[in-house]
Structure 1
Amino acid sequence: MDRKTVTQTTAADEIEHLMRLHPKGYDLSLGRVERLLEKLGNPQDRLPPVIHIAGTNGKGSAGAFCRAILEAEGLAVHVHTSPHLVHWHERFRIGEKARPGQLVDDAVLAEAIRRVAKANDGEAITVFEILTAVAFLLFAEHPADATVMEVGLGGRFDATNVMKKPAVSLIMPISLDHQAYLGDRVELIAAEKAGIIKAGVPVVVGFQQEDAARDTVVATADRLGCTLSVYGQDYHAHEEHGRLVYQDEMGLSDLTLPQLPGRHQLSNAAAAIRALKAAGFNISDRAIEEGLQQAKWPGRMQPVTDGPLIDEAVAGAEIWIDGGHNPAAGHAIAEMLAELEERKERPLFLVSGMINTKDPVGYFAAFAGMARHVYTVPVQGSDAGIDPVVLAEDAASAGLSSQPASDVMQALAMMREDFKDMEAPPRILIGGSLYLIGDILAENGLVPS
C-alpha cells in the first residue's frame, strides 16, 4: 500500500497494514497499551460510565441486553465487542440520542486507526491492543450516556482492563476455555476474569455453574471492598406463566421473556438488569421490557429463514446458526434445542467447524443422544481450523455418527442424499466457530448492522 494515499484507504486497509506489521496471537500484558494510551491523552479516563463485562459465555448477550435497555430509556450507548463476525466495524458501535447506536462509519474508523497507529510509532504491540485503543479514542470523542465494554480474552491482562473506575464490573458464566492462556482449572480462569474488578466498584456475578468460579470471584470482590450482587443469592430470575420474573432486594418485576432464544438468556438478562442498577442507572420496567424484546446478538442461536442455505437444505428444514464453541456453550445450545424438540419434533443434524484451541469432544458430548448425524467442515476464516476428518473423529469419540464434508453447502447436499426418508424435515444447527458463522452470515446476506 502506498502510504501517501492514506486518506483514501478504508478501515480494512488500515487493519491489514497493521496485521502485516504486528504479530498475530495474544500477548497478555498491559504495558504496551498503557504506553500507547498515554500518548493519546488517556482517552480511557474520559469515557461515559462503563459497564465492563468479562466471562467465558454470555458476555455478548449481557452487553446486548444492557445496550437495548439503556437505549429504550432514551440513552446513547457506546458498545465495544470482540471478535467481529463479518466486518471490523462490528466492534465499535457509537451511541446516538433518540435512536439506536450505529456501527462506526468507515471513514471515521479508518481515521481513528491512523491516529492510533501514528501515536504507536511502530513499537511492539498487538493489533487487538491498537483496536482497543481505537475504541477508547472513539468513545471518548463522541458524547454518550453509557459505555458497554466487553473484555476480549481473560480480564486481568486484557487490553480493556486499563480503566481506573468503571461504573460496574459484570462477571458472566465462567468455564474452561482458552486454557493455554488462562489456566486449566476453572478457579484459575475465574481469577483471570475477576482481574477486571476494581477496589470499591460494584460487582455483579452472573449465573455460575461451578462453585469454584463463583467463590473465586466473590473472594476477589470481598478483598477489594466491592458491593457485591450474586445471581441466585442477591438477585434471580425465572419463567412463570410465559413471563420473566426478576427479583432483587428492591422488589419483583413481572417482565416479558427475552427475544433472544434459550433458557440461559433468562439469567443473562437478569445479570444485565442487575448490572445497570448497580451502575446507578435509573431504569424503568417499561424500558427493561422493551429492551428484552429489542436486544439482538447476531450469530448466536440465530434462525435462518431464507437464502442459499435454505435453498440447499432438505425442503422444510429449520436452520439455526450459533458460534458457541466450548463445552458450556454446547450444553446451553443443546438445552435450547431440547426445548424446541418439545414443541415440534424434528431429527437434529449438526454441521460443525472448529479451531484447534477448543475442546471439540467436550462440545460434541453435549449433543450425544440428540443429534442424528454430524457433518464436519473446514473453517475458512482461520488458519487454525481443525481438519474435517479429524473433527469427525472427535465427534465419533463423543458418541456421534459423523463424516467430513468439503464445506457447509456440500454438507447440506449430503444430508439430502443420505437421509432421504426422514420422518420430518430436519432441524439443523450450524456452528462450533465464530469464524464459520461469520462466513455464513456474509454468504447469506445477513451482515450484522
Structure 2
Amino acid sequence: MTQDLTLANAKLILKDEVIVGSLSLRDGKIAAIDTGATVPTGALDCEGDYLCPGLIELHTDNLERHISPRPKVSWPHGPAILAHDRELAGCGITTVFDAMRVGSISSSKARHAKYAREVSHALLALRAQGVLKISHYLHLRAEICSETLPAELAEFTRDDRIGIVSLMDHTPGQRQFRDLEKMKAYVMGKHNMSAADFAKHIADLQDLQAQFGAAHEAAAVAFGQALGAVLASHDDTTAGQVATSARHGVAMAEFPTTVEAAQACRDNNIAIIMGAPNLVRGGSHSGNVAAGDLADRDLLDILSSDYVPAALLMSAVQLGETWGDMARGIATVTAAPANHVGLTDRGVLEVGKRADVVRFKPLGGITSIRQVWSKAHQIA
C-alpha cells in the first residue's frame, strides 16, 4: 500500500547543509522538500528534531550475536534474524550488509564452524516473504586463515544479494593481532584454553596461513570480481599491505590499524571505514589507532557499527559536532556508504530518492531516535 506523509518543522540534514523545512513522502519516495517551520494541516510536527536519511551499515557482526547469544549456544535462525532486523530498525539503520564469515576451521580447539550458507538461505527466505523491516544485503567475510574457504564461497551465486566481499586474515602476529598478549587474553578467555592450548592454536593458525593464504586470497578476490561485489580489505597495518589491496582492486579498507595504513589508503583512493564503537569509546579495544585520531587527520570516510548497532548514529552525530558540520558527520553513515557500494537510490534526502528517514534528537551526549521510516512506512 502507498502512504503519503509530510514531516514538518524539522532540521533537514541534506547532502551539504542543514535547513529548517519539511519532507513530503509519497509512494515510498521523497516527493518534495520545502523550507520553513510551517506545519501544514495533516502533517507530522517534528518539533524541531533532526531528520536524516536512513543509516546504511556496511559491516556488522550483530546477526552472529543473535545466532550464537552465548558460547556453544545456537539460536534458531528465523527468530534470530527477525530480532536482528528489528534491533537495527530501532537504531535507525534502514539498509544493512550482514557480515557472515566464510571459511571454517574444524581441526582446532577454537573451532569455527560453517554457518553462512544456511543462515543466508533463511535470511533471503524471510526477505522473500516480506517480513523484514529493513533492506538486507550480504557481506561475505572471506577468512583467508581457514581450511574451507574456496568450497564455502562456491555455494554462493549472484542471486544471493552479495554486495561486499572482504579479505580477512586473522593470522596471529600481524594486522589486528600484532599484540599476541592481547590476543592471548581474548582467545583463552573465550575458548577456555590453557597456555599450552593457546600456543598450539597460534602455531596451527600460522601453519594454515602458510599453506593456504595465497591461494585463499586469490580465490576470494576472483569470487568477488565474478559476482560484481565491492572488495574490501580488513585491518591493514602497513603501506605494503595497502599496496597489495590496491592491486586486488579493493575499494574500501575496514578498520586500518595505523595512521600509516590509513594514509596509504587515502593515497590509493581506498575509502577508510572505522568502527563507531572505537569513536564513541575514544579508542580501539585492541590497542590500534583511534578513529578520532583519523577523523582529526581527515582520514575517515565511513563509520560502521561493527558490534554495537546503537553506536552508528551516535558516532555520526559526535563527528558532526566535532567537525562543526552535522551534514558531513551524518554523511559518514548515509551518503558515503551508499556511494561506495553503488546504492544510488538512497543515502541522501533528495526528491526521487527512497523515503528512508530517521527522526532524532541529541540529548547531551545521547542521541534519541524518535521515529524511523523505510520507504515511507514507519518501522520504529
Q: TM-score, normalised by structure 1?
A: 0.25
Comparing both structures, which one devotes a greater share of its residues to helix?
Answer: 1
Give 1 or 2: higher strand fraction.
Answer: 2
TM superposition score normalised by structure 2? 0.28
1 or 2 for the larger relative contact order (CA 8 Å, sep ≥6)? 2
